[in-house]
Amino acid sequence: METVSVSSPSEGTKTKDIDGLLAGVGYKVRSSELHQVAQNIERLENVIVNSSSDISQIASDTVHYDPSDIGNWVDNLLSEFDHTASLPYDFSELPDLAAAPPQDHQLKVVATVEEDSAIKLVHMLMTCADSLQRGNLPLAGSLIEGMQGLLAHMNINCGIGKVAGYFIDALNRRIFGQNNIISASLYENDVLYHHYYEACPYLKFAHFTANQAILEAFNGHDCVHVIDFNLMHGLQWPALIQALALRPGGPPFLRLTGIGPPSPDDRDNLREIGLRLAELARSVNVRFAFRGVAAWRLEDVKPWMLQVSSKEAVAVNSIMQLHRLLGSQSDPISSGIETVLGWIRSLNPKIMTVVEQEANHNKDGFLERFTEALHYYSTVFDSLEACPVEPDKAMAEIYLQREICNVVCCEGPARIERHEPLVKWRERLGKAGFRPLHLGSNAFKQASMLLTLFSAEGYCVEENQGSLTLGWHSRPLIAASAWQAVSLPETETLRFDH
């Protein structure tokens, strides 16, 4: 039941008495307005501290005794210092990251304070990014200190407090040159990937959707070859092996080539993953062969390393990898994407499955990129809060933190998280000689069934011109598409029969 606050007669009389005293000495202000004047003065102090403007241009030697005059004077100064009005960001687009509204009415004031702090924090984040774009490092540094102080009074375990903490850390690293990000071993990266896989449906959606498309493309072929651009733990392939084992008419001979970074020690991680998959394939009577290709970057892979045969149907699988080949539009440091797409096409694959973040983090302007990243990862963390799997969440958040840090902190070759939306991939892949394949109704049904594993409402699968997107409420966050190489002359097709 909603509580309505009613002032006692004594309180009303007291207020009238104060207003009468103020009027008696010539002040044209009510006592109820003094609180607003005080709030505006505090806001003005914060703005002046963080301002790069020449204060002397608007300063005044006038001494104000009347509170109503002070109120008008403060309002005028604040209008001069409106730093954030010109920032190209609609704060209404941010998801509601505040903690769930408290049921106890007495806690509503706390929630309101938290909401006000969150709005102020977002404004400061945007102002800091704008200052960095303009090269004003002193102002950006002072804003970092202000945001860290504000964060100390907020809940950093969830909502905007948690997300803002990661962005503040990334901005801080950028300002003070700590753009080597957070170093981690390959083992640590694998562990984080695994926890992210378990904590939320995004990687599962990518694997399930790609597998369904590959399974349908392999229909009628007795010898098939999957080239995986990022093997990691091999989490994607047990489901495909089992599906092939149940194929009417019997399973085909399956070759899997897994690309991954070299092992830092004497262990051969790729081979160990291949042995585990081979054991699974043997248990379900699928003839299986594995080949590991160790490479730090996809640009270092050459088509002859893959040993593709003309007798087999080939599927190329890229889960969140192609964006790493992109250079910024004004810095063509690498033609990696064109090179890799060129030799993929020369293999004449039956299908290429591509899953990428549905975001635009490859813009040249830092403020625009920062704005997009803040919006995107706020939504991702909002969705993660709703997932029921607690033990994996902390590690999954570190996985996302590394992405945020790379997007915000790094430039040039060091910035590898260059996400682009599906519309741009359609244009790029079309120019590279690929035509889109329609992900069928089975892929849509499987993706929809996958979401039933997560009790949270809000995840949604949508069909987009033959591709599928998985999103949180109205915001798509990941896009899956399938492609086929336009027919090449026989002389341009690279196959390495053996």
Residue 182 DSSP SS3: coil
pLDDT tops 90 at residue 60: no
pLDDT band of 267, cuts 50, 70, 90: confident
- Tell me, yes or no, whether 5 lies in a domain: no
- Tell me, yes or no, whether 163 lies in a domain: no
* Residue linked to tokens 């100064």: 77
pTM for this one?
Answer: 0.76
pLDDT tops 80 at residue 82: no
| pLDDT top residue among 493 and 424 | 424
Pairing of strands 313-319, 288-294: unpaired
Ranking 125-129, 187-191, 218-222, 399-403 by mean pLDDT, the lowest is 187-191
Report the C-alpha gap between 210 and 355 in whole angstroms. Answer: 8
Max CA distance (Å), the chain: 102
Report the candidate in 224, 270, 273 with the shortest Cα–Cα distance to residue 244. 224
Burial class (CB in 10 A: 0-12, 13-18, 19+), 285: exposed
- Tell me, yes or no, whether 73 lies in a domain: no
- Alpha-carbon torsion angle 119, 125, 128, 129, nearest 10: -130
pLDDT band of 443, cuts 50, 70, 90: confident
Rounded to 5°, the CA angle 267-319-328 comes to: 105
In degrees and rounded to multiples of 5, residue 490 shows phi and psi of -55, -35
Instruction: Return the pLDDT at 106.
Output: 44
- Tell me, yes or no, whether 165 lies in a domain: no
Most confident of 5-9, 356-360, 493-497: 356-360
Residues 6+ apart with CB under 8 A from 469: 358, 422, 461, 462, 476, 477, 478, 479, 480
Instruction: Return the pLDDT at 100.
Output: 42
Instruction: Return the pLDDT at 62.
Output: 46
pLDDT in tens, 385-402: 887 767 778 889 999 999
Average pLDDT of the chain to the nearest whole number: 79
Number of domains in the chain: 1
Parent domain of 237 = 190-359+419-492
Q: Strand pairing partners for 294?
A: 260
pLDDT tops 60 at residue 76: no
Cα dist. 92→20, 95, 119, 375 in Å?
Answer: 42, 8, 10, 10
- Tell me, yes or no, whether 301 lies in a domain: yes
- Tell me, yes or no, whether 329 lies in a domain: yes
Most confident of 49-58, 87-96, 190-199: 190-199
- Tell me, yes or no, whether 319 lies in a domain: yes
CATH assignment of the domain containing 219: 3.40.50.150
- Tell me, yes or no, whether 256 lies in a domain: yes
| pLDDT top residue among 265 and 193 | 193
Rounded to 5°, the CA angle 42-45-47 comes to: 110
Instruction: Return the pLDDT at 291.
Output: 95
